Amino acid sequence: MSGKGAPELTVEECGDLRVAVVAAQWHETVMDGLVAGALRAARELGTAEPTLLRVPGSFELPVAAAALARAGYDAVVALGVVIRGGTPHFDYVCQGVTQGLTQVGVETGVPIGFGVLTCDDEEQALDRAGLAGSREDKGHEATTAAVATAAALRTVA
């Protein structure tokens, strides 16, 4: 299980951080769970209600995350799901999204929470979506990681 060994993150003094969530629209049930987990994490961390921006698919996440980072958000959370099919399309989308989001974070200095599920089948995605019966809540985890990183970066400045 991918959640093994995950750190217990403690985040303090982050109530004034501006957080944005950018979420793909493909696989509606999975995405509903990821978005709900992300918004719940933001509330639990005491941040203001995050801006939520929806884009068509996961491939569009990097350009939207870049726009949000440049707009002054302290943390951006990218949520999507890519499910393996019978063609190399899965590999190209996963690689593009991962590299694109990494580039956005490095170039802007804004933490990007990586909540993009890359799964072999829908069952794996549902198990990570934070829904009733899911074993993991990747939307919540991605938001907590992004906000914790933004809070940590404050100590550098």
Task: Give the catalytic positions in this structure.
Answer: 89
112 in a labelled binding site? no
84 in a labelled binding site? no
134 in a labelled binding site? no
82 in a labelled binding site? yes
87 in a labelled binding site? yes
First-to-final CA distance of the chain: 36
Report CA-CA distances (Å) from 90 to 23, 62, 127: 18, 16, 19
128 in a labelled binding site? yes
Report CA-CA distances (Å) from 137 to 39, 79, 142: 12, 12, 9
Contact 129, 40 (CB under 8 A): no
Residues annotated in the binding site for (2S)-2-hydroxy-3-oxobutyl phosphate, as ranges? 86-87, 128
Residues annotated in the binding site, as ranges? 26, 58-60, 81-83, 86-87, 114, 128
